[in-house]
């Protein structure tokens, strides 16, 4: 798919804005670095924040009509935006509409923009166990579904019963989680669709017991993960050894390129020590992968890498 962005992005944005029924926002040349936990990357041609499913459907149909690439950006974790930025549309789901968390029996219906920490907190207050692992994942429900995020031996689709999503055509559908064929750190089905809500299943338990498990998870996380800005785990765990342990055994902790450094606390985190560029991070990623390859192990990135290396070149709208 090739972006056909006009020379005057404001005109292009105005065309889209006029199609919205609600007060959805459209921003031109929107900086993305501050919207990611790693803090690197260039701007998006268009940053759109739909306030309803109807406006989200409008935005997706607009992308299809004009040949615009698009991506959803949640809480900004697990993503690395290249320095040239993103040619196309970045979608941010409005937290007020898409961030609700509601209980029905032993289930929580959660909007895609709901923070995982808030979901875990709601489950604790409602006396629903099994969702404690979400507390320490720095993301939203939608991102956790797309990446099948996990921690402490549990993962997102283990507790998901159904997913509501919007197709590129604008159609809004719902499917059982088991039909989406999620795998380790990915749900390929959602790569070309936008998850807007999910039903998560818990089990009744005493809130105090749930709180204790959440606090134990939090203590473990604070002891084993850096607080310096990062995107989370950079690599998926290969079958033979956890990626963090492998990187430590290769003596790569503390390795630095530019202002990007392999964390001394956890080898599978690359941190921004201040002023890092996406190029710094990507060079360090390749350095680690090369060293791992020399040991006979292939490391696959877990973080999603999007955008272009070079600044934007505007193309006139055809």
Give yes or no for residue 14 having a pLDDT over 70: yes
Give yes or no for residue 193 having a pLDDT over 80: yes
pLDDT of amino acid 2: 42
Burial 154-165 (b: 16+ CB within 10 A, else e): ebbbebbebbbb
Range 99-208 has CATH code 3.40.50.300? no
Tell me the per-residue pLDDT of 69-79, one tens digit each, with 9 for 90 and over. Answer: 999 999 999 99
Span 199-225, average pLDDT: 92
Span 286-294, average pLDDT: 98
What is the edge-to-edge ordering of all strands in the sheet holding 86-91? Answer: 25-31, 43-49, 86-91, 70-72
Give yes or no for residue 272 having a pLDDT over 60: yes
| Alpha carbon distance 182, 180 (integer Å) | 6
Give yes or no for residue 291 having a pLDDT over 60: yes
Give yes or no for residue 202 having a pLDDT over 50: yes
Span 5-28, average pLDDT: 87
Tally of CA atoms within 13 A in the half-sphere of 135 that contains its CB: 24
Closest CA to 254 of 236, 239, 266, 241: 266
pLDDT of amino acid 61: 96
pLDDT of amino acid 118: 95
| 162, two tokens | 């159904």
pLDDT of amino acid 5: 52
With contact defined as beta carbons under 8 Å apart, do 231 and 36 qualify? yes
State which CATH number among 3.90.25.10, 1.10.357.10, 3.90.78.10, 3.40.47.10 fits the domain covering 235-301: 3.90.78.10
pLDDT of amino acid 192: 93
pLDDT of amino acid 136: 86
The band of 314, judged by pLDDT with boundaries at 50, 70 and 90, is low
**Residue 191 exposed, middle or buried by CB count within 10 Å (0-12, 13-18, 19+):** exposed
pLDDT of amino acid 111: 98
Span 145-156, average pLDDT: 93
Question: Domain 9-95 carries which CATH code?
Answer: 3.30.43.10
Tell me the per-residue pLDDT of 82-110, one tens digit each, with 9 for 90 and over. Answer: 999 999 999 999 889 999 999 999 999 99
- Average pLDDT value for the chain: 93
Give yes or no for residue 166 having a pLDDT over 60: yes
Q: Where are the domains of the chain?
A: 9-95, 99-208, 235-301
pLDDT of amino acid 11: 86
Residue 37 DSSP class: S
pLDDT of amino acid 176: 98
pLDDT of amino acid 221: 86
């Amino acid at each position: 798919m090739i972006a056909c962005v006009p020379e005057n992005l404001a005109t292009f944005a105005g065309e889209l804005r006029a199609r919205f029924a609600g007060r959805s926002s459209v921003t031109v040349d929107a900086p993305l670095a501050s919207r990611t936990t790693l803090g690197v990357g260039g701007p998006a041609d268009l940053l759109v924040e739909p306030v309803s499913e109807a406006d989200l459907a409008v935005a997706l149909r607009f992308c299809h009509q004009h040949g615009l690439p698009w991506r959803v950006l949640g809480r900004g974790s697990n993503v690395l935006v290249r320095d040239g930025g993103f040619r196309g549309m970045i979608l941010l789901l409005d937290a007020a509409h898409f961030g609700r968390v509601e209980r029905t029996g032993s289930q929580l219906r959660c909007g895609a923009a709901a923070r995982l920490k808030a979901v875990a907190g709601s489950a604790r207050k409602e006396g629903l166990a099994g969702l404690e692992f979400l507390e320490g994942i720095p993301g939203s429900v939608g991102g956790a579904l797309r990446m099948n995020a996990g921690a402490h031996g549990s993962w997102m689709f283990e507790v998901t019963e159904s997913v509501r999503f919007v197709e590129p055509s604008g159609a809004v559908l719902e499917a059982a989680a088991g039909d989406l064929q999620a795998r380790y750190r990915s749900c390929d089905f959602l790569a070309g669709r936008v998850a807007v809500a999910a039903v998560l299943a818990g089990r009744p338990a005493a809130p105090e017991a749930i709180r204790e498990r959440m606090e134990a998870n939090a203590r473990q996380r604070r002891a084993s993960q850096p607080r310096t800005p990062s995107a989370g785990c950079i690599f998926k765990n290969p079958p033979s050894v956890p990626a963090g342990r492998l990187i430590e055994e290769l003596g790569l902790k503390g390795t630095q390129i530019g202002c990007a450094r392999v964390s001394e606390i956890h080898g599978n985190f690359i941190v921004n020590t201040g002023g890092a560029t996406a190029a710094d991070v990507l060079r360090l990623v390749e350095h680690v992968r090369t060293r791992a390859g020399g040991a006979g192990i292939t490391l696959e990135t877990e973080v999603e890498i999007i955008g272009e290396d070079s600044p934007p070149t505007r193309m006139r709208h055809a």
